[in-house]
Structure 1
Amino acid sequence: MGTRKGIVYLVGAGPGDAGLLTLRGAECLARADVIVYDHLVNEALLCHASQNAERIYVGKRAGSHTMPQDEINKLLATHATQGKTVVRLKGGDPFLFGRGGEEALYLADHSVPFEVVPGVTSAIAVPAYAGIPVSQRGYNVSVHIITGHEAPEKSESDLDWKALARCEGTLVFLMGVANLDRIAKELIRHGRPSSTPCAVIRWGTLPEQTTVVAPLGEIAERVRAAQISPPAITVVGEVVRLREQLKWFERKPLFGVRVAVTRPPDQSRELIASLREAGADVLLTPTIEIHPRPLTEEVRKELELLHSYDWAVFTSANGVHIFFEYLGRMGQDARSLADLRIAAIGDKTAEALSQHGIHADVTPDRFVQEALASAIPVLSGDRVLIPRAAAARDALERDLTARGGKVRVLPLYDTRVCESGVTQLLRELREGRVHVVTFTSASTFESLAESAHDADLPQLLQNVLLASIGPITSAAITRKGCRVAIEASHHNAQGLAEAIIEFFTNERSRSALEETKEVSS
């Protein structure tokens, strides 16, 4: 068997919005053994990687370099020559002022295999998110992307300011905030009208996105007044005038909102998609992990006796999938449930059953145990099997037992604290980067509470909005002294997303009304 060959993928991470990573980039991350990433990379992208992948931060900020470029080059080559798949994750596009060319040349010189995965460049995407098309018929016939990061102590610029000032195209300066005074003065000195529309966009495509628009002659002063600091992009040209009509991103209901989702990744797709569609930046910080229990003889015995039950009651999609996985390992399938009536606690659990060819006979209007118990027409003496998590509320079995049912709870999996997700969430909370934290079950909150001291929890969460999927989850939150700001009327992922959107829509409507009152008075 031959020695495994390593490779380095130079992957463009895009401008910040996690949804702008390319499919090819996500594929590379999924199979990476090592990920070397920069300061401007959205860490939400790391959810595409295996939990076993080594993550190495080499971010650079002005005046602060975690690792010199020469060492980064050597790091990439070293891991690849050890037979590892390495992803070098770089903000924007790796070959556009990103030093990706230097890294590729180093790898080529050392005979290290590499591939380049282009990324969505901030030079085009950031203006687009601010409502500025870098090209528009009738406005310009060219676009020029320029580094704005020339050292101020240089006696002469490498840029041809005369050519830049006289061209009628759009100018996009990357990394130019510190030199904005010089950029504006040089353009004006060489013939660009001081009235030329100009925009500076900070943290484009993210909740912190801020845009300052002013004539070229005033832009530096306006940017200082707004306290704009890197990272930011400067756009110079007539296309800036289109911003007021085209600023689509800022009109989304969740623009400026960062939401932490605490559900496991495979159960969060619908919630994340709904929140991102509404303009939110989503952090996946799962606080729980699902661990299936072994297929023991006790479990086998119950599954072999399915025909003796009258009801099978499922309280989660996890329980459904693990249940059918065990049936499959025993050489059985959905036909084993032919003589039973089936109940599901909610639409997602019913949907999971349908994936295995089973239609739920009962699904309540409210997705809580009490409503499920009331919806099941159990008769005295009916045998009821409840495949579920080992630790769960017992309201369902108590109700069915009180009505004469003979209930057997079959624990199929354990819910445990996800240490990495909780650690990340606590860090984001302490850094003040989160606006909303969602909880889709009592266990998602209790796992966070376990890892934080009870006395500190209300203080840690006091400046964020807690969004709960329903009353049971809300009760778990309030028992710890924390306040629920948002509770879903429909107790599912879509209902939770809609409740968050409605909350911010109403808040912004109230703010706009207050501003109108202040102006009129």
Structure 2
Amino acid sequence: MTEGKKPVLAIMRPESYREKSEALAREYGFEPIYAPMIKLEGMKDEGFEPFIQRVIDGTSDYVVFTSANGITFTLDKLTETEKEKFITALKKTRVIAIGPNTEKELVKIGIEDSFLPEDYSSEGIVEALCPEVKGKIFDLARSAFGAKVLIEGLEKCGATVYETHVYTLNIPEGAAQKELIERALSGEMDAFAFTSSMMVKGFMKHAEKLGAGETIKETLGKAVVGAIGTPTGNTLKKHGINADVIPDEFTFEALIKAMKKEL
């Protein structure tokens, strides 16, 4: 990076986060280059109706949302009446929010007192809740790619866990993705922000498609690589890439801040 020039940051989050992410990057003195390496799509599995029913009936003792998207994609599928009933019932249930953004999304719908574990990882949640969950019913609304660690851990502690997939993740294909990889290979970027394991997979898939699976690792080795959460860091490691930065707080802003400091 030349003196006086703003460091260039690759942002690869889903389209719906683009505007916010680019604004944050600029605020912290980065020049963003954007191409989504991950795409969110709503889905409804056979567990959805029973999940809504359990919450409304008061059968669920705990409802876990692992992301703000989990909340949005759940509510999207309900009629206004159902939504009202569901939110009213949630207020009487113990709601677990994973990460501050999930908590903010819950506050927006009037759930003020959700439980936010200090450690946002699946292991952290299991550890925090284990002593109190024996014989309790858990409902988990999340993406089709959620790790099994959370379910297995809670079941080991004696809970009954139901999981419903309210959205799925895909890898988008197009000119923007190809261009981002090419610009990365030409050494244009100083930093890369990875916010999920699926994003890492999408990024590597596009690099491999260009026959640059190995070269891109060298490129990333010369840049600052940031990851949100240990699972994302581990996925990078599996691909032979080291994350320079994994912030304690699982938010995009914390990641950008930590990466700026690293630079």
Q: TM tier, shorter chain?
A: 0.7 to 0.9
Could you say if the C-alpha distance between residues 280 and 384 of structure 1 is closer, same or farther in structure 2, counting changes exceeding 3 Å? same
1:391, distance to aligned residue in structure 2 (A): 1.3
1:298, distance to aligned residue in structure 2 (A): 4.2
Which residue number corresponds to residue 61 of structure 2? 310
Within the candidate set 419, 422, 426, 2:177 is matched to 422
Could you say if the C-alpha distance between residues 336 and 326 of structure 1 is closer, same or farther in structure 2, counting changes exceeding 3 Å? farther
Task: Output the amino acid matched with 2:244.
Answer: A
1:462, distance to aligned residue in structure 2 (A): 3.3
Q: Is the 8 A contact 2:63 2:95 kept in 1?
A: yes
Instruction: Note the alpha carbon deviations across 1:384-409, whole angstroms, 9 max, x for none.
Output: 00000011211111111110010011
Measure the CA separation in 1 of the matches of 2:80 and 2:46: 13
Which residue number corresponds to residue 362 of structure 1? 115
Which residue number corresponds to residue 30 of structure 2? 280
- Unaligned runs of at least 5 residues, structure 2: none
Q: Within the alignment, does 1:291 sit opposite 2:41 as a pair?
A: yes
- Unaligned runs of at least 5 residues, structure 1: 1-206, 211-249, 505-521
Measure the CA separation in 1 of the matches of 2:225 and 2:139: 35
Measure the CA separation in 2 of the matches of 1:441 and 1:417: 12
Measure the CA separation in 1 of the matches of 2:124 and 2:31: 34
Q: How does 1:19-98 map to 2 (within 5 A)?
A: none
Q: Is the 8 A contact 1:379 1:404 kept in 2?
A: yes
Measure the CA separation in 1 of the matches of 2:79 and 2:177: 34
1:451, distance to aligned residue in structure 2 (A): 2.6
User: Could you say what the CA RMSD is over the residues aligned between the two structures, in angstroms?
Assistant: 2.2
Q: How does 1:432-451 map to 2 (within 5 A)?
A: 432-451=187-206
Which is richer in helix?
2
TM-score using structure 1 length? 0.46
1:256, distance to aligned residue in structure 2 (A): 2.4
Q: Is the 8 A contact 2:151 2:161 kept in 1?
A: yes
Give the paired residue count.
253
Q: How does 1:416-495 map to 2 (within 5 A)?
A: 416-420=170-174, 421-453=176-208, 454-495=213-254
Measure the CA separation in 2 of the matches of 1:403 and 1:288: 34
With CA pairs under 8 Å and 6+ residues apart, which has the higher RCO, 1 or 2? 2
1:365, distance to aligned residue in structure 2 (A): 1.9
Q: Is the 8 A contact 1:260 1:434 kept in 2?
A: yes
Which residue number corresponds to residue 348 of structure 1? 101
Equivalent position SS for 1:433 = coil
Equivalent position SS for 1:367 = coil
Q: Is the 8 A contact 1:362 1:375 kept in 2?
A: no
Which residue number corresponds to residue 393 of structure 1? 147
1:271, distance to aligned residue in structure 2 (A): 4.2
Q: Is the 8 A contact 1:438 1:466 kept in 2?
A: yes
1:356, distance to aligned residue in structure 2 (A): 1.4
Task: Output the amino acid matched with 1:342.
Answer: V
Q: Is the 8 A contact 1:288 1:447 kept in 2?
A: yes
Measure the CA separation in 1 of the matches of 2:46 and 2:150: 26
Measure the CA separation in 1 of the matches of 2:54 and 2:28: 48
Q: How does 1:102-251 map to 2 (within 5 A)?
A: 250=4
1:446, distance to aligned residue in structure 2 (A): 1.5
Quote the sequence identity (%): 21
Q: Is the 8 A contact 2:47 2:164 kept in 1?
A: no
Q: Is the 8 A contact 1:287 1:444 kept in 2?
A: yes
Instruction: Note the alpha carbon deviations across 1:427-472, whole angstroms, 9 max, x for none.
Output: 2212321111100111111111223334444234333221112322
1:335, distance to aligned residue in structure 2 (A): 1.1
TM-score using structure 2 length? 0.87
Which residue number corresponds to residue 49 of structure 2? 300
Equivalent position SS for 2:237 = helix
Q: Is the 8 A contact 1:342 1:359 kept in 2?
A: no
Q: Is the 8 A contact 1:457 1:482 kept in 2?
A: no
Task: Output the amino acid matched with 1:410.
Answer: T
Measure the CA separation in 2 of the matches of 1:489 and 1:305: 34
Measure the CA separation in 1 of the matches of 2:61 and 2:159: 10
1:329, distance to aligned residue in structure 2 (A): 5.8
Measure the CA separation in 2 of the matches of 1:434 and 1:270: 20
In our comparison, the structure showing a higher alpha carbon Rg is 1
Which residue number corresponds to residue 27 of structure 1? none
